[in-house]
Amino acid sequence: MILKHLLRNVLDLKLASSTTAQLQRKQNYSDEIQQYDFPPPAKAPNWACNEQEDVVYDTEFVQTEGEDELSFASTSSSKISAEQ
């Protein structure tokens, strides 16, 4: 009887709590507003490109002559909207 109690009331609860996925850290960003608006690579197929609406960001991607990769330049959002 004691073994039955141990298996059902103690070990089952311990097993259930150890196999349940738990949130480790709070999500401190919003998927709705944190998206980047920059052109996809030139050879990317259309099916691989997602259109994102209502893009809000404080970064700008620039490409200068002679560079193959986009570089990252931090700017304020007011400066970006003034340039557009």
> Distance between CA atoms of 74 and 69, rounded to whole angstroms?
16
Written as one string, the DSSP assignment of 37-48 is --PPPTT--GGG
Nearest to 69 by CA among 78, 61, 79, 59: 61
**What was the pLDDT predicted at 77?**
45
Mean pLDDT, residues 3-9 taken together: 67
Average pLDDT over residues 47-74: 59
Q: Is there a contact between 35 and 57 (Cβ–Cβ < 8 Å)?
A: yes
Tally Cβ neighbours within 10 Å of residue 19.
Answer: 7
pLDDT reported for residue 78: 43
**What three-state secondary structure class fits 1?**
coil
pLDDT, tens digit, 9 for 90 and up, residues 36-52: 666 777 888 877 776 65
Average pLDDT over residues 32-37: 64
pTM above 0.75, yes or no: no
pLDDT for the residue 76: 43
